[in-house]
Amino acid sequence: MFNNQVFPPPPTGDPLRFHAHFIAVVLSLDSSLSLLDVLAIARLGSNVKKTVLLCSPGGVQYPGGAGGVQYTSLQWSGMV
């Protein structure tokens, strides 16, 4: 598992001046996450006010041999 932050593109996306909008968690397509891991990641994103992206490279092939990325986003909305 690889974690990273995602900033908007330059020139507005200077990481020294702006906060990241997303937390990207990169997983292989054949890996699995337990429900507790998904909840922990979603709650972390909520605590730091960022959307979590679960990303997996591959799955889609584009012309020229470039591979795509499959992703989904998580946002925690606690119920009172």
Six token digits for residue 38: 């998904």
The domain spans of the chain are: 2-6+21-74
Q: Output the CA angle 11-15-21, nearest 5 degrees.
A: 95
Residues 6+ positions from 61 with CB-CB distance below 8 Å: 67, 68
pLDDT digits (tens, 9 = 90+) for 18-72: 677 888 888 888 888 899 998 888 888 888 888 898 888 876 666 766 677 888 8
The structure's pTM equals 0.68
Residues 6+ positions from 4 with CB-CB distance below 8 Å: 23, 24, 26
Question: Left if phi > 0, otherwise alpha if psi is -120 to 50, otherwise beta: which for 58?
Answer: left
pLDDT digits (tens, 9 = 90+) for 61-72: 667 666 778 888
